[in-house]
Amino acid sequence: MNDRFRFEMIAFDADDTLWHSECFYEEAKAGLAAVLAPYGVDKETALAILHETEMGHLPLFGYGIKAFTLSMIEAAVKATSGQVRGSDVQAVIDLGRAMVGHEMRLLDHAAETVARLAESHPLMLITKGDLMDQERKIASSGLASFFDRVEIVSDKTREVYARLLERHGVAPERFLMVGNSMRSDILPVLELGGCGVYVPYELVWVHEHGEVPAGVDGRYYEIDHLGQLPGLVARLEGSV
C-alpha cells in the first residue's frame, strides 16, 4: 500500500466487537443445563443437543436471541424425551427474556476508537441477528451517530458482502472489515479481495471459528484490542 491509498469504508461487526454479547449466551446455556439437570441430563449432553438443534434451526430462524430461545426450548424437549414440565419450559423462556433485557456493555476502547475513525473515514456497522434486538442494542450503545451506514443482515457471506459493497459503491480492495468472528467477519471479506482486521474476543461460538487462508498477506491483520485500530489504519494508509 502506498501513501495515496485510502480506505473508502471501514466497517465494524457489532456483537463481541463493539459490545459484549456471547457472555449472555453462555449464561443462558448454563441456565438451560441447570433446568435439565433434575431430569438426569448432564451439562455436556444438554449443550451438545442444544448445538445440534441450533445448527438445524439456522436455515429456518437465522441468528439472534429469539432463534436461540426456540432452540433451547426444543433442546429441552429432546433431552427429556418430551417429559419436560411446563414450568421448566417457562424457565427456559425466561432465560431468553433475560438476554433481551441485559445491560449494554461496550468493550474497552470501542467508543473512542469509533469516534476517532469517524472523523476521517466513512463508517459502516454490519451485524446479523434479530432485527428488533439489533436495533435496540445499536440505539442503546451510544455509537449509532458515528456510522454513515447500518446494515442488519440475516447472515454474513461473501454474497452478502458483495451486495453491500455494490450498493454503497465501495471497491473491495478499499474496504476494511473489523470483527471478532473469523467465519463471518473476516473470511468472506478476504475472499472478495478486501481487508480484514481480526479482534479476538474471549468467548467465541464454535460456529464462528475459522482458519486464516494462505495468500492474504497485506490484507489480513490481527490486533489485541480496538484501541490499536486507528494506528493500524494510519500505517496501512501510509500516513505514519
The per-residue pLDDT for 118 is 97
Q: Give me the residue spans of the domains in the chain.
A: 9-19+104-236, 22-100
Question: Is domain 22-100 in CATH 1.10.3720.10, yes or no?
Answer: no
User: In Å, how far are 41, 44, 51, 130, 216 from 170, measured between CA atoms?
Assistant: 51, 45, 36, 26, 20
The per-residue pLDDT for 64 is 84
The per-residue pLDDT for 129 is 82
What are residue 220's DSSP bridge partners?
196
The per-residue pLDDT for 59 is 84
The per-residue pLDDT for 4 is 66
Where the chain has pLDDT below 70, the residues are 1-4, 203-211, 213-216, 239-240
The per-residue pLDDT for 155 is 87
CATH of 9-19+104-236, one of 3.50.50.60, 3.40.630.30, 3.40.50.1000, 2.40.160.20: 3.40.50.1000
The per-residue pLDDT for 216 is 67
Beta strands in 97-235 (DSSP E): 123-128, 149-153, 175-179, 195-198, 220-222
Query: What letter represents residue 178's amino acid?
Result: V
Burial label for 108, CB within 10 Å (0-12, 13-18, 19+), is exposed
The per-residue pLDDT for 160 is 95
The per-residue pLDDT for 240 is 44
Checking 65-71 for CB contacts under 8 A at 24+ apart, the result is 65/96, 65/99, 65/100, 65/129, 65/130, 65/133, 66/96, 66/130, 66/133, 67/130, 68/25, 68/28, 68/96, 68/99, 69/93, 69/95, 69/96, 69/99
